[in-house]
Amino acid sequence: MADGFEIVSYKRETGRKTDIQFLSREVAEKTTQFHKSFPGYCRTPLARLKNAAKEFGVADIFVKDESYRFGLNAFKVLGASFAIGQYIANRLGRDLSELPFSVMTSDEVKKELGEITLVTATDGNHGRGVAWTANQLGQRSVVYMPKGSAPERLANIRKENSDASITDLRYDDTVRMARKRAEEPNCVLVQDTSWDGYTQVPTWIIQGYTTMANEIAQQLIEMGVDRPTHIFLQAGVGSMPASLCGFFANIYEDNQPVITVVEPNKADCIFRTAKAGDGKLHFVTEEMNTIMAGLACGEPCPIAWDVLKGYCDHFISFPDYAAAKGMRVLGNPMGDDPRVVSGESGASAFGCVAEILTNPDLVSIKEELGIDQNSRLLFVSTEGDTDRKNYRDIVWDGKYPSKK
């Protein structure tokens, strides 16, 4: 493991693969239309970093900037809102296309639906998305956060009139606490991972993220770009990378980009699952004290893994300092490249690859990824400075410096 980096090149399954039509362009259009019905919707920017591309020796670099999403500074609301919308539509026996925001918030629908409490566990961004959606729809929410969660993230969730609290449990045990709370009357669990008997809501959440992927595809066309050659996606339980992996595998079916999932060394459950290659899910049971709080998940989402094992090429486990480097590079762009304010999890994939492309000790990983001067790289900055104190500690004060 050179400098804390390790790669597993995963041979895509041959023969029967997971059906990814639930992440098709048609599904993405449906999710996009739903999100467009919300006040304040706007397409988030796709930053083109031409100077960084030249510095790193590649043809192009694109970074989707989710810090602009609904004023919530993160992408997670896309999955939460779509899942809640689908739940309400199913409960009312209607198609979601009949329930845009203006209808879903009407007195008629509220009366028909009654009062519900939306329950979830989160490190911050997903819970804020659930709380925001509940508040927008005039419903209640209960949000549990694992130990060590940032007070700022808790405060932002409480601003949405949510009953939110930080537990003394690690993330995966906090999920179990939310499951127990959701057994109470008129409660609905909105969790972005799955288990036996709980698959519908997490599937909707994964589908909700395709709005982001759909926007990227349209933006690349507008920029005159045929397709990225490489897509790098960071993972917690794996829902976001599964969503984008499935979508792009669908639309680029005849010439799929090289897709790589990256995770912090201390919370690399998907990497461990890929490395074992024994058909079983592998958990992280140690303390997950990584700066990438949004990725500090020890148990993969089975639905997500089913997509990734069939359509992802590489899995990388990498150290915290690389994510910090990504935050600094994106926040201090070269020349006239646009600035991207990206948090620890948001900058993780970009920072991981930036280190691989500039560290001579990691040239073998660069070669394994097949990156050269003709490569066009796509990243997603999934969050902005959702923990501003930590952002400044890293970007201003140089916390977690690169190892030289």
As annotated, the active-site residues are 76, 123
CA torsion, ordered 121, 123, 128, 133, to nearest 10 deg? -40
> What is the full DSSP assignment across 60-101?
EEEEEEGGGGGGTTBSTHHHHHHHHHHHHHHHHT--GGG--H
Report the alpha-carbon distance of residue 288 to residue 6 in Å, rounded: 18
Radius of gyration in angstroms for the set of CA atoms belonging to the chain, rounded to a whole number? 20
Tokens 């917690």, residue located: 236
> Reduced to 3 states, what is the DSSP secondary structure of residue 385?
coil
Sheet holding 376-381, edge to edge: 6-9, 314-318, 258-264, 230-234, 376-381, 60-65, 46-48
- Of the chain, the end-to-end C-alpha distance in Å amounts to 16
Please, what's the b/e burial string for 284-313 (b: 16 or more CB within 10 A of its CB; e: otherwise)?
beeebebbbbbbbbbbbbbbbbbbbbbbbb
Report the alpha-carbon distance of residue 345 to residue 267 in Å, rounded: 12
Report the alpha-carbon distance of residue 292 to residue 276 in Å, rounded: 24
